Amino acid sequence: MIDVRQVTRYFGRVKAVDQVSFQVEKGEILGFLGPNAAGKTTTMRILTTFLPATKGTATVAGYDVHLKSMEVRKRIGYMPENPPLYTEMRVRDFIDFVASIKGVDPRDRKRAVAETMDKTGVAHVSNRVIKTLSKGYKQRVGLAQALVHNPDVLILDEPTVGLDPKQIIEVRELIKSLGGNHTIILSTHILPEVSMTCERVVIINAGRVVAEDKPENLTRHLTASQRISVAVKGPKQDVQSKLSALSSVSQVIPSQSGDDASVHRFLLESLAENEIRPQVARAVIENGWDLFEMKPEGLSLEDVFLHLTTKEEGTEL
């Protein structure tokens, strides 16, 4: 449904997005996770045709965002970081206006507007002037404007930012209920948010995609306080089981071996803050194997996580 290929965007000299590629399947909810200034908003603006990419291509529902931008626009609902609201308008009039410019058939418009207001829970404030609404309700009106034309794709830029815990839960429930019917990309800098709402996560940092995985796996990366890779010469099964048995090692993942078939590589993770290297080294020696290499492993994700918001006040994980 969404296909992003090698998209790069410069602002003057600043490279805001650097060769970003990812795909989103129909009906999937993709989390777009990254700290501030990672390039989330810029990527989303490229997908919504608001900004052109400097290099690379992206297609939404099979249409190129640059060459067929009008076709793309008909099929996306976009909620920017600040909900785009004409605050002097009444809720109903505003949604109706959006339905009209999004190309909803005039005969269906009234029904579409009413349904959307029901779905987003703003029906009972439909005659209120938007500027008199609370932040939470403004956010819902923002969602309503993204939904009113029943788009294939929803692009939501930090949809829960600035809401109170109760509102956050409500908005997340709403988004989850939209998955399946819509393909959704949701950006956030809050780690627990992706595990709660998304099926898959793309992590972006300093404009680059640094990881792509299921949320469960990310949480595991996060709780592992140390990861090392070791290369050991010895019987593979035996090595793996013995290393797993060590008290401070939580997981042993075999990784690809080098040229020498008898030397096996493993990725070890520790749960607590224990230093596992001495223990591992001792185990290898005591079992009569040869230790070829031992080094701390790819901590780039951790650097990213350091800058993410990993805890939330008041909401359940």
Partner 1 sequence: MRNYWTIVTRELKSYFSSPVAYVVIGLFLLISGVFYYLIVTNFVQVCMRADMQAQMYRMAPPKLNINMMAIRPLFHNMSLFALFFLPLVTMRLYADEKRSGTIELLLTSPVSNLQHLAGKFTAAAVLYLLMLIFSFVYMILLYIFGSPETGPILTGYLGLYLLGLSYLSFGLFFSTLTDNQLIAAIATMVFILFFWAIGWLSGSVSPALGQALEQFSLIEHFDDFSKGIFDTQHVIFYLSFVVMGLFLSFISIESARWRGR
Ligand X SMILES: Nc1ncnc2c1ncn2[C@@H]1O[C@H](COP(=O)(O)OP(=O)(O)O)[C@@H](O)[C@H]1O
* Residue 34, contacted partner among Mg ion, partner 1, ligand X, none, CB below 5-8 A by kind: ligand X
- Does position 78 bind partner 1 by CB under 8 A? yes
Q: Identify which range of 90-98, 247-255, 276-284, 298-306 contacts partner 1 by CB under 8 A.
A: 90-98
Q: Please identify which residue in 30, 41, 65, 243 interacts with Mg ion, judged by CB under 5 A.
A: 41
Report in angstroms how near the CB of residue 243 gets to ligand X at its nearest: 39
Q: Please identify which residue in 1, 2, 30, 34 interacts with ligand X, judged by CB under 6 A.
A: 34
Residue with tokens 């209920």: 177
Q: Please identify which residue in 8, 21, 23, 100 interacts with partner 1, judged by CB under 8 A.
A: 100
Residue 317: HSE in the Cβ half-sphere, 13 Å Cα cutoff: 10
Angle (CA) 133-80-217 rounded to 5° is 115
Closest CB to ligand X among residues 36, 237: 36
- Rounded to a whole number of angstroms, the distance between the first and last alpha carbons of the chain is 30
Q: Please identify which residue in 6, 26, 36, 300 interacts with ligand X, judged by CB under 6 A.
A: 36
Report in angstroms how near the CB of residue 189 gets to partner 1 at its nearest: 19
Report which secondary-structure segment, H or E, holds 91: helix 91-101
Q: Please identify which residue in 18, 30, 31, 40 interacts with ligand X, judged by CB under 6 A.
A: 40
Report in angstroms how near the CB of residue 27 gets to ligand X at its nearest: 25
Q: 128: which residues sit within 8 A by CB, 6+ positions away?
A: 90, 91
Q: Please identify which residue in 34, 35, 56, 83 interacts with partner 1, judged by CB under 8 A.
A: 83
Q: Identify which range of 83-91, 114-122, 207-215, 217-225 contacts partner 1 by CB under 8 A.
A: 83-91
Count the Cβ atoms, other than its own, within 10 Å of residue 268: 25
Report in angstroms how near the CB of residue 147 gets to ligand X at its nearest: 22
> At 54, phi and psi to the nearest 5?
-75, -40
Q: Identify which range of 30-38, 76-84, 114-122, 181-189 contacts partner 1 by CB under 8 A.
A: 76-84
C-alpha distances in Å from residue 278, one per residue of 206, 267, 271, 282, 299: 35, 15, 16, 6, 20
Q: 69: which residues sit within 8 A by CB, 6+ positions away?
A: 49
Q: Please identify which residue in 49, 116, 126, 205 interacts with partner 1, judged by CB under 8 A.
A: 49
Can you name the residues that pair with 202 across neighbouring β-strands? 32, 212
Report in angstroms how near the CB of residue 67 gets to ligand X at its nearest: 23
- Does position 16 bind ligand X by CB under 6 A? yes
Mutual angle of helices 135-147 and 106-119, in 10-degree steps: 140
Angle (CA) 190-192-196 rounded to 5° is 120
Using CB under 8 A as the binding rule, the residues of this chain from 124 to 163 that contact partner 1 are 145
Whether 109 contacts 100, CB under 8 Å: yes
- Does position 62 bind partner 1 by CB under 8 A? no
Q: Is 46 helix (H, G, I), strand (E, B) or coil?
A: helix
Single out the residue of 197, 231, 200 nearest to residue 215, CA to CA. 200
Q: Please identify which residue in 11, 299, 300, 303 interacts with partner 1, judged by CB under 8 A.
A: 11
Closest CB to partner 1 among residues 71, 213: 71
Whether 38 contacts 219, CB under 8 Å: no
Which chain residues interact with partner 1 by CB under 8 A?
A: 11, 45, 48-52, 70, 73-74, 76, 78, 80-89, 93, 97-98, 100-103, 106, 145
Which chain residues interact with Mg ion by CB under 5 A?
A: 40-41
